[in-house]
């Protein structure tokens, strides 16, 4: 891409509504544009980064055998009535009617829809375990959308769902996801700590929030510092992944809704206590038959009996991650992108004088060579002074 052609509507000032760095920088560098409260358009630069994050998330899901599909954003209210959540979800759900007056909604999550898909075809234990996921827009009519893409109404989420025949088998699926999450965040150069958390409207009694440390985070966290030192070892089978989860579970790490001071003081020595703030970038849940029971999603077992499938769901905030990575890594008003998701691989910044095109021609040669070798390059073809160009282009690249 030639810098002069890049569609990148820069803002000179910080918009007054932007209170945190990531929101300010994303607006100012033309990554996003607010369309209405809590709803954003993703402009080329922001979109490119989000797509790279999405791809890393996808690759790590595929590695543990999860299969990608795509469910629609608009869902029928009927299945939500079957599960009982149509009423429970309250005002956060955007409800709509089609021209026939049929009740529809913009999906805030997909437990019901995936269960409906699953129950329609899977009848035997032989088809289990199964892991399915999609990466799709969600809508939640948040009471107080804020901090740009961090808490907005329309956001891009990876949500996966596991189906097993027993709690024991389901625990293996849960652990696999736990591991895939650690790997995903590591590739994004983030230290995301799994923390015991409340399950809220998703339900169940086992859940971990993956939280990265950031002053501007909305989650208050209480942890044993030593959890940050755990080394992520390659784990290729159920046993080694189970061991890894055990290591994490040894250390106290909870969000404020699960925090109990007595327990914290008892389990964690004063010098290891860490009380700080973080951003929730992922959340995994195990809820057994919470959805399969009301939605009558069962399979035949070997002995002829039937059982409701045991399910879990696993979310990653793909669009939130763009803001979260900025929050975790920015320095002096400059966004710092991990190499794995930087918008361009290489920036070519030649010194170009008005009547001397030699440098530019050389730079273009390199640019074309890189492009022909599938290396995404940005060529600064503007005639500004070299030092100004370095500052501008390299901050965009990083
Ligand atoms: N069904 C489950 C798992 S698939 C679920 O919806 N979990 S969740 O509610 O915790 O959302 C998953 C992730 O989406 C969160 O960890 C967070 O990173 C992201 N997320 C949730 N709400 C928002 C929001 N309003 N704006 C941006 N990202 C959000």
- CB 142: neighbour CB atoms within 10 A? 16
The residue among 19, 42, 286 whose CA lies nearest residue 156 is 42
Are the C-beta atoms of residues 341 and 326 closer than 8 Å to each other? no
Residue 316 CA, ligand 1 centroid: distance in Å: 7
Q: Among 114, 161, 181, 283, say which to mutate for ligand 1: greatest number of ligand atoms within 8 Å of CB.
A: 283
Q: Is the separation of the CB atoms in 185 and 279 below 8 Å? A: no
Residue 283: CB within 6 Å of ligand 1?
A: yes
Judge if the beta carbon of residue 138 lies within 6 A of ligand 1: no
pLDDT digits (tens, 9 = 90+) for 72-117: 999 999 999 999 999 999 999 999 999 999 999 999 999 999 999 9
| Whole-number pLDDT of residue 394 | 59
pLDDT reported for residue 356 = 79
Ligand 1 contact via 320 beta carbon (within 6 Å):
yes
For all residues of the chain together, what is the average pLDDT?
Answer: 94
Per DSSP, which regions of the chain are E strands? 32-36, 39-42, 67-68, 74-76, 94-97, 103-106, 130-139, 154-164, 192-196, 206-213, 219-224, 253-255, 273-288, 298-300, 306-308, 310-317, 346-348, 377-379
For ligand 1, say whether the CB of 85 is within 6 Å of any of its atoms.
no
Report CA(77)–ligand 1 centroid distance (Å): 20
Distance 303 CA to ligand 1 centre (A): 39
Whole-number pLDDT of residue 396: 57
Distance 254 CA to ligand 1 centre (A): 18
pLDDT at 385: 77
Q: How far is the CA of 72 from the centre of ligand 1 (A)?
A: 17
| Residue 393: predicted pLDDT | 63
| Cα 126 from chain centroid (whole Å) | 32
Q: In sequence order, what are the beta bridge partners of 222?
A: 254, 275
- Structure confidence at residue 12 (pLDDT): 87
Mutation to probe ligand 1, out of 157, 219, 314, 325 (largest number of atoms < 8 A from CB): 157
**Contacts of 327 by beta carbon, 8 Å cutoff, 6+ apart:** 20, 21, 22, 150, 214, 215, 216, 217, 279
Q: What is the mean pLDDT of each run of 10 residues along the chain (398 residues)?
A: 92 90 95 97 97 98 98 98 95 97 98 97 95 98 95 98 97 97 97 88 85 90 95 90 93 92 96 96 96 97 95 98 96 91 94 84 96 96 79 60
CB count in 10 Å sphere of residue 387: 9
* Main-chain dihedrals φ then ψ at residue 207, nearest 5 degrees: -160, 145
Whole-model pTM?
0.95
**Sign of the C-alpha dihedral, residues 72, 74, 75, 80?**
positive
Residue 323 near residue 150, CB atoms below 8 Å: yes
Query: Residue 196: its pLDDT value, please?
Result: 86
> For residue 210, which atom of ligand 1 is closest to its CA?
16
- Residue 99 neighbours by CB under 8 Å, 6+ apart: none
pLDDT of residue 395: 59
Q: What is the 3-state secondary structure (H, E, C) of 64-109?
A: CCCEECCCCCEEEHHHHHHHCHHHHCHHHCEEEECCCCCEEEECCC
Cβ–ligand 1 distance for 162 under 6 Å, the answer no
Nearest protein Cα to ligand 1, atom 23: 151
């Amino acid at each position: 891409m030639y810098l002069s052609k890049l569609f990148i509507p820069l803002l000179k000032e910080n918009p007054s509504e932007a209170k945190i760095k990531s929101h300010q920088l994303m607006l100012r560098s033309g990554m996003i544009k607010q369309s209405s409260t809590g709803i954003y358009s993703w402009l080329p630069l922001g979109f490119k980064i989000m797509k790279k994050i999405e791809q890393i998330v996808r690759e790590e899901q595929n590695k543990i055998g999860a299969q990608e599909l795509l469910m629609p954003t608009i869902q029928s209210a009927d299945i939500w009535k079957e599960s009982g959540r149509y009423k429970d979800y309250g005002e956060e759900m955007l409800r709509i009617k089609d021209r026939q007056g049929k009740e529809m909604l913009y999906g805030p999550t997909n437990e019901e829809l995936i269960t409906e898909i699953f129950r329609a075809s899977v009848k035997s234990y032989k088809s289990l375990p199964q892991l399915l996921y999609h990466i799709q827009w969600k809508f939640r009519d948040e009471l107080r959308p804020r901090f740009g893409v961090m808490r907005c109404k329309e956001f891009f989420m990876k949500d996966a769902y596991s189906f097993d025949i027993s709690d024991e088998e389901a625990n293996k699926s849960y652990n696999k996801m736990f591991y895939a999450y650690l790997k995903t965040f590591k590739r994004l150069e983030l230290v995301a700590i799994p923390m015991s958390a409340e399950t809220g409207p998703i339900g169940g009694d086992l859940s971990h929030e993956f939280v990265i440390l950031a002053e501007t985070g909305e989650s208050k966290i209480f942890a044993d510092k030593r959890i940050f030192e755990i080394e992520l070892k390659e784990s290729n089978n159920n046993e080694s992944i189970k061991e890894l989860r055990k290591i994490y579970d040894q250390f106290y790490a909870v969000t404020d809704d699960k925090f109990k001071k007595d327990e914290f003081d008892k389990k964690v020595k004063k010098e290891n206590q860490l009380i700080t703030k973080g951003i929730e970038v992922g959340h995994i849940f195990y809820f057994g038959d919470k959805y399969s029971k009301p939605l009558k999603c069962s399979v035949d077992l070997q002995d002829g009996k039937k059982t409701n499938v045991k399910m879990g769901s696993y979310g990653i905030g793909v669009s939130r991650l763009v803001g979260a990575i900025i929050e975790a890594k920015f320095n002096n008003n400059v966004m710092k992108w991990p190499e794995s998701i930087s918008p361009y691989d290489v920036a070519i910044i030649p010194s170009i004088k008005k009547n001397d095109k030699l440098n530019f021609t050389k730079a273009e040669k390199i640019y074309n060579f890189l492009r022909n070798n599938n290396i995404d390059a940005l060529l600064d073809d503007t005639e500004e002074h070299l030092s100004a160009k370095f500052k501008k282009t390299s901050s965009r690249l990083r």
